[in-house]
Structure 1
Amino acid sequence: MTDEVRAAMNELFAAERRLRGRDPHRAGDLSATQVRALFQLERGEACTAGELAKRADLSPASMTALLDQLEQSGIVERRRSEKDRRQVIVSLTDAGHEVLAAKRARIEERTREVLGVHNDEELDAAARVMRSLVELLDSLGK
């Protein structure tokens, strides 16, 4: 049974790597990395690029490039902090909130389609197993 869980975990990691590696198929569409960063920005609202990089688990250089693209698309805006003029604060624009809401709706719809075949007991068990795997992975790095 452990081998089956390990194999499924490797398949999940591979699917996640494929998702991260995919460029958007259509002009104006967001990459998985951009979506992850935007969800983190939405969750915590306005913050510095460095804070957002930490939340989204990206390097500061990657975050700067990502924000450049998102700002050009009108999805985020950067402005000087009123409290500390050395800091630049990133926030979602109204258009960014709309784009993110549409993306979230598509993700939630697809999630319901894929996970809807499982009952609550199966989903609860899957969540417990995934949390155990998180604990395993975190403990391997210590």
Structure 2
Amino acid sequence: MTSPPAVEQPVHRCGALLEYLARRLRLRSESVLAPLGLRPRHLVALTVLRARGGSTQQALASTLEMDGTNVVGLLNDLEAEKLIERRRSPEDRRRHIVELTEAGVERLASAECALAAVEDEVLGALGHDQRETLYGLLQQVATGGVEAACVEADTGGAGAAACDGVPLC
């Protein structure tokens, strides 16, 4: 019996390792968000609303790539916690404008602090420069190398990468 021909393979494969780290980040993130009454999808919506200074429900649905009905449910969750406010658009009474409340800004800041601690825990073996290198490499992969479409968004003094105004991290 002959063995199959050798194929040039990279020494290391990243997929399984990235999945493992993503899973650790996701599980720890969910556990620190839960006491704040948030789920990851809530956090993403709040972050988008902060970056944009508000949004129509339709634009938010498009950005989040969610069905309009699901966005209504998400916004109902956030509104029940008084983290967002929906109001009719003065230009078009059929549309609703969604904005963060002061409580939403504060809860988002608390969540981001908690998530920073999670990231420190999971990536603790890396120094500051190594984390910056990792971030740059991951951003390059996430954007497909097309950095022209991405801009720096100011998020309370700390620059965060964003595409079309939506933070990538």
Contact kept in structure 2, 1:80 and 1:89, CA below 8 Å: yes
* Residue equivalent to 2:115: 107
- The equivalent position to 2:15 in structure 1, one of 6, 10, 32, is 6
* Residue equivalent to 1:90: 98
CA distance change for structure 1 residues 31 and 2 in 2, over 3 Å: closer, same or farther?
A: farther
Contact kept in structure 2, 1:46 and 1:90, CA below 8 Å: yes
Which one-letter code corresponds to 1:86 in the other structure?
Answer: R
1:113 CA displacement: 4.1
Matches within 5 A, 1:1-142: 1=10, 3-12=12-21, 14=23, 25-26=34-35, 29-135=37-143
CA distance change for structure 1 residues 65 and 113 in 2, over 3 Å: closer, same or farther?
A: same
Hey, which of these two has a bigger chunk of strand by percent? 2
1:78 CA displacement: 0.5
Identify which range, 113-122 or 92-101, moves more after superposition: 113-122
Which one-letter code corresponds to 1:39 in the other structure?
Answer: T
1:79-131 deviations in whole A, cap 9, x for unaligned? 00112212100011121112112111212233334434312442243224323
Gapped regions of structure 1 (runs ≥ 5): none
Name the CA distance, whole Å, in 2 between partners of 1:108 and 1:2: 32
Contact kept in structure 2, 1:74 and 1:93, CA below 8 Å: yes
CA distance change for structure 1 residues 92 and 133 in 2, over 3 Å: closer, same or farther?
A: same
Structure ranking higher on relative contact order (CA contacts 8 Å, 6+ apart): 2
Segments ≥4 residues shifted beyond 6 Å: 19-22
The share of aligned pairs that are identical, in percent, is: 26
Hey, which of these two has a bigger chunk of helix by percent? 1
Name the CA distance, whole Å, in 1 between partners of 2:116 and 2:29: 18
Gapped regions of structure 2 (runs ≥ 5): 1-9, 147-169
- Normalised TM-score (structure 1): 0.74
Paired positions, count = 135
Q: Secondary structure at the match of 1:4?
A: coil
